[in-house]
Amino acid sequence: MTSQVIRYGGDYNPEQWPREVWDEDVTLMQRAGVTTATVGVFSWAKLEPSPGEYDFAWLDEVLDTLHTGGIEVILATATASPPPWLAHRHPESLPVTIDGVRLAVGSRQQYSPSSSAYREHALRLVRKMAERYARHPAVTLWHIGNEYGCHVPRSYDEESAAAFRVWLEKRYGTIDELNRAWGTAFWSQRYGSFEEVGVPSRMPTDGNATQAIDFDRFSSDALLELYRAEREVIRSVDPDAVATTNFMGLFRHADYWAWAREVDVISDDLYPDPADSRSHILAAATRDLMRSLGGGRPWLLMEQATSAVNWRPINVPKHRGQNRLHSLQCVARGADGILHFQWRQSVAGTEKFHSAMVPHAGPDSRIHREVRALGAELKDLGDLIGQPVPAVVAIVLDWDSWRAVEQPSTPRQLTYDQTIYAWYEGFLRRGVAVDFVAPGADTSGYRLVVAPLANVLNDAAVSRLGEVVTRGDVLVAGYQSGVLDEDLHARLGGYLGGAGSALQRALGVRVEEFAPLPDGVTTALTGDLAGQGTVWQEIVIPVGAQVVSAFSDGFTAGHPAVTRQDATGGGVGWYVATEPDTDTRDALVDRWLTDAGVEAAFASAEPGIETVVRGGRRFVGNHTPEHRVVTVAGTSVELEPYGALFLSAEGADR
Ligand code: GLA
């Protein structure tokens, strides 16, 4: 980050407005404390009205106008939405759905990630942009593409199939190795050569699971490759260029652990639903993920709405103060910039009812007044820039497990992200900071490592998780963890990484059978910890672990639901074979924290309230419509509905 004020602003699309509005925009931006405008995200058609014919004069003027006004520019490469002429000349560049439907021009992102025509034209534009603007004094960051994969995460066209085969050949080397990994001895699926392999389009019934996950992996890589190609063009012009692309929180179709390695600044777009009283959980988890993806370094909120979006069936506005709450939540959880989609609300197009920083009603409006107030408030938080958010609890997050548990032909299709949010919520309710980690990551800085639904674990990840207890820390694993290896082959001998694995030893259990519960069916848990289980049951065989809680009815009656083992090495291993109800989960979190010696900020669960410490300053936010008084780390704090504050190091409000 370049400045010592928190970046503030949003997407700016001046091409939708007459020239005279631009000057008013800059004046209004200055009054609102805006520091940053993201320009050009959807400008390709205006920048290159016909192939090879460029019009940069207007963008020159936009950048100069902003620069003169003291507004820095995040410059987009403008490749997010190709102009109609591309598909007109290259219909094969359009994406194809799983059912073979070629998607039409008229919205956006209508390109196949593997289209050579798209790539060629996009890179040509990026080179022109980089040559013209890389050294423009207003430009501080490159915004490559936009929300890669948002609408078209994958395409089933011919070029994608060819690229998939190349990817497979690189991954497996030989067709024999592919046959082994894909388990093609099953259902006569053996391939004689890579040429015979296709994309997993619509099939008579559920297809090969490893082919499906490989296509997911390939599709994430294909998009990432586009990002990389654009970045390399920019770097070839300016080796010092700083680049990002905007992530979309826990987005199933892009493995952000891999993506994070390629961006200089982690940035994210998030639109928590104001109508959902639980959306703050998703929001807090997402902010923590963004910080974690960058290994703790500051990140940038690239987009949020000041109020309503346009793309839900019912687009409820944010509550008064809620955009401030969301913004401060980001800063508290590691963001050094708060940007919005978009500066001025459009008059035409799909997003004309999407809120903005300057709404249809103009600057004399509730929304714009809140925008100005937030700009002023962020100016005072500059001391948090670059500051870390310490956490000693880690949750394992893994795209392969996500892909695997949501595949068909599993005992029960599970919703991975909702499960992650549910387990995360237990810590949020106690005011305990959480980082996310990849399954094979070094977790030695954490006292408590929690692995919900860690379904796919390679050998290294199994060992890594086992090490948590042998080094003296606490490991919690959830149901369905360690069931599959990276080829999605079942691990034999009592799951959880397979017979005699480091994970089985760490937890002191084997898993003999699954018994998923139908929707709405619960199972009573009895013992030292009583409560309800939902979603899942298992036949767990303790091999050293103590039973904390047992299933009391149905197929698994009498078998352990929750176990705990004091492991050799001084650590503790917990296993949870069901999805506990909220109270039971709170009680479990309490025990895990005690085992790990981690102190919670709230003495007991505080639904709807969050707290986190950044740079020695404690943030407290109220995500409920009620006035609340809470005790946070010994200090009593009063919060308005949707109110938020930072306590100074001494405990006084600021
Ligand atoms: C995404 C896109 C923006 C805009 C917003 C609307 O975040 O990146 O261009 O469409 O959604 O919410």
Q: Which residue has the tokens 């790539």?
A: 119
Residue 49 maps to a domain: yes
The CATH number of the domain holding residue 348 is 3.20.20.80
Residue 567's pLDDT band, with cuts at 50, 70 and 90, is: confident
Q: Are 629 and 588 contained in the same domain?
A: no
Q: How far apart are CA 568 and CA 560, in angstroms?
A: 21
Neighbours of 561 (CB within 10 A): 30
Q: Are 452 and 422 contained in the same domain?
A: yes
Residue 603 has pLDDT above 50, yes or no: yes
Residue 380's pLDDT band, with cuts at 50, 70 and 90, is: very high
303 catalytically annotated:
yes
**pLDDT confidence of residue 214:** 99
E strands in 362-504? 393-396, 434-437, 448-451, 474-478
Q: How far apart are CA 382 and CA 396, in angstroms?
A: 31
* 192 C-alpha to ligand 1 centroid (Å): 44
Q: How far apart are CA 67 and CA 456, in angstroms?
A: 49
Mutate to test the pocket of ligand 1, among 351, 353, 355 (most ligand atoms within 8 A of CB): 351
Cβ atoms of residues 458 and 486 within 8 Å = yes
Residue 110 maps to a domain: yes
Final residue before a domain boundary, out of 352, 384, 416: 384
Final residue before a domain boundary, out of 359, 384, 409: 384
**pLDDT confidence of residue 648:** 78
Cβ atoms of residues 6 and 378 within 8 Å = yes
Q: Are 431 and 505 contained in the same domain?
A: yes
Q: Are 38 and 80 contained in the same domain?
A: yes
Residue 187 maps to a domain: yes
Can you state the angle between helices 19-31 and 57-68, rounded to 10 degrees? 30
Which among 147, 377, 425, 538 is annotated as catalytic? 147
Which residues line ligand 1 at a C-beta cut-off of 6 Å? 146-147, 269, 271, 303, 305, 309, 341, 351, 354
Give the ligand 1 atom nearest the CA of 305: 12
Cis peptide before 342 (omega within 30 of 0): yes
**pLDDT confidence of residue 27:** 98
Angle at 527 between CA 525 and CA 528, to 5 degrees: 120
* 588 C-alpha to ligand 1 centroid (Å): 39
* 500 C-alpha to ligand 1 centroid (Å): 48
Residue 1 maps to a domain: no
Q: How far apart are CA 372 and CA 51, in angstroms?
A: 41
Q: Are 398 and 479 contained in the same domain?
A: yes
The CATH number of the domain holding residue 460 is 3.40.50.880
Give the ligand 1 atom nearest the CA of 146: 8
Residue 603 maps to a domain: no
Cβ atoms of residues 540 and 563 within 8 Å = yes
* 476 C-alpha to ligand 1 centroid (Å): 37
Give the ligand 1 atom nearest the CA of 309: 12
Which among 72, 303, 370, 538 is annotated as catalytic? 303
User: What is the mean pLDDT of the segment spanning 545-554?
Assistant: 96
Residue with CA at minimum distance from ligand 1 atom 3 = 341
Q: How far apart are CA 438 and CA 465, in angstroms?
A: 11
**pLDDT confidence of residue 649:** 63
Residue 231 maps to a domain: yes
Quote the pTM value.
Answer: 0.98
Residue with CA at minimum distance from ligand 1 atom 9 = 341
Provide the percentage of residues in the chain whose pLDDT is more than 70.
Answer: 99
Residue with CA at minimum distance from ligand 1 atom 2 = 147
Mutate to test the pocket of ligand 1, among 13, 151, 251, 303 (most ligand atoms within 8 A of CB): 303
Strand 522-527 to 531-534 pairing: antiparallel
121-156 tens-digit pLDDT: 999 999 999 999 999 999 999 999 999 999 999 999
Q: Helix, strand, coil: what percent of the chain each, to 5?
A: 35, 20, 45
Per the prediction, the chain carries an average pLDDT of 97
Mutate to test the pocket of ligand 1, among 77, 341, 343, 352 (most ligand atoms within 8 A of CB): 341
**pLDDT confidence of residue 652:** 43
Residue 105 maps to a domain: yes
Q: Are 420 and 284 contained in the same domain?
A: no
User: What is the mean pLDDT of the segment spanning 285-309?
Assistant: 98
User: What is the mean pLDDT of the segment spanning 456-460?
Assistant: 98
DSSP sequence for 510-565? EEEEE-PPPTT-EEEEEESS-EEEES--EEEEESSPEEEEEE-SGGGTTSEEEEEE
Q: How far apart are CA 70 and CA 235, in angstroms?
A: 26
147 catalytically annotated:
yes
User: What is the mean pLDDT of the segment spanning 590-605?
Assistant: 98
Q: What domain range includes position 624?
A: 609-648
Provide the H-helix boundaries in 295-415.
322-332, 366-379, 399-405
Give the ligand 1 atom nearest the CA of 350: 10
Cβ atoms of residues 600 and 430 within 8 Å = yes
Q: Are 300 and 433 contained in the same domain?
A: no
435-452 tens-digit pLDDT: 999 999 999 999 999 999
The terminus-to-terminus CA distance of the chain in angstroms comes to: 24
Q: Are 68 and 198 contained in the same domain?
A: no
Give the ligand 1 atom nearest the CA of 303: 7
Q: Are 307 and 441 contained in the same domain?
A: no
Q: Are 404 and 520 contained in the same domain?
A: yes
489-529 tens-digit pLDDT: 999 999 999 999 999 999 999 999 999 999 999 999 999 99
Q: What is the DSSP letter of 206?
A: -
Q: Are 527 and 440 contained in the same domain?
A: yes
Q: Are 406 and 338 contained in the same domain?
A: no
Residue 68 maps to a domain: yes
Report the domain count for the chain: 4
**pLDDT confidence of residue 569:** 83
Can you state the angle between helices 366-379 and 322-332, rounded to 10 degrees? 20
Residue with CA at minimum distance from ligand 1 atom 5 = 341
Residue 67 has pLDDT above 70, yes or no: yes
**pLDDT confidence of residue 654:** 46
398: tokens are 């893994």
User: What is the mean pLDDT of the segment spanning 280-290?
Assistant: 98
